[in-house]
Amino acid sequence: MEKLAKIYVAGSGGLVGSALVRKLREDKYEDIVELASHEIDLRDYSAVEAFFTAARPDYVFLAAAKVGGIYANSTRPAEFIYDNLLIETNVIHAAHKWNVKKLLFLGSSCIYPKLAPQPIKEEYLLTGELEPTNEAYAIAKIAGIKMCQAYRKQYGCNFIAVMPTNLYGIYDNFDLTTSHVLPALINKFHDAVQNKLDSVTVWGSGKPRRELLYVDDLADACVFLMNSYNESPIVNIGTGRDISIAELAELIAGITGFRGTIVYDQTKPDGTPVKLLDVSKLADMGWAAKTSLQEGIKKTYEWFKSEKACARI
């Protein structure tokens, strides 16, 4: 990407989008287009078309999406498939119509088959059944990947797709009904410390294992790939290391200062038992994550405390 190119970050107000903006600014890109969700509804093609007509971006990072944890995905599947399909089809088609030089689409590791061999290679996509609790979201994201590949095949568009592992970091969603596991645990343990509670309840058995990537590392990888990768196959982005939910809970308890009992509610779903990405393809290109899990959680917790004090969460 040229330093003076116009770069549109769709979803710039979210966890991933805000990290992408930080990285682009750090790398001295000067013309970054940011629009909040209240400024443009990406589900509305007429609004998307009007934006592309006026802005004419050279590059697009498609980080906008409706996301959530197990509870949100399993109770609101219609919203997850409808909203994400609309966002993807509108932005990808507009990027083709207005001759965007390159587009990067964000998939998610949770769209791989539930029982995929570990670690998960890129070619395992669509080789088995999906995790039922997030099937609607997964189908929408898979459609986005296939759309990028179809537009490349038919029209020659330089559209690429990446598969990040579980993400966390500053500007995450900490709401207990819609967040993913790590921010939810930070919120729970912080609340327990503040209210001097004796125990914290964690959903599931604690046995599932998750790979966790600090979102600023993801942004670094995306900019790296936007500048160096021009092929149709998807690329995994992760750390290549995982941790059990129980180990994660203990780690967050220590960072937040919680000294009580951790209770596991096994009436609640576990989700996919193991989900570790094979990141050898990206490693062979010369990229590796830099932020340790402990360091990333500490940064996230410090940000969470400052934002909570300002009543923005």
Residues designated as active site: 137
Cα 31-35-36 angle, rounded to 5 deg: 145
3-class SS of residue 290: coil
**DSSP codes, 194-257:** HTT-SEEEEES-S--EE-EEEHHHHHHHHHHHHHH---SS-EEES-S--EEHHHHHHHHHHHHT
Cβ neighbours for 255, distance < 8 A, ≥ 6 positions apart: 294, 297, 298, 301
DSSP code of residue 129: P
> At which residue do the structure tokens 């094979």 appear?
278
Q: Is 148 left (phi over 0), alpha (psi -120 to 50) or beta?
A: alpha
Q: What stretch of H or E contains 10?
A: strand 6-10
Chain centroid to Cα 158, Å, comes to 22
Question: Which two tokens mark 69?
Answer: 């944890």
> At which residue do the structure tokens 């994660």 appear?
248
For the chain, the distance separating the N- and C-terminal CA atoms, rounded to the nearest angstrom, is 35
Do 173 and 71 touch, CB atoms closer than 8 A? no
Cα(8)–Cα(215) distance, rounded to whole angstroms? 18
Pairing of the two strands 243-244 and 209-210? antiparallel
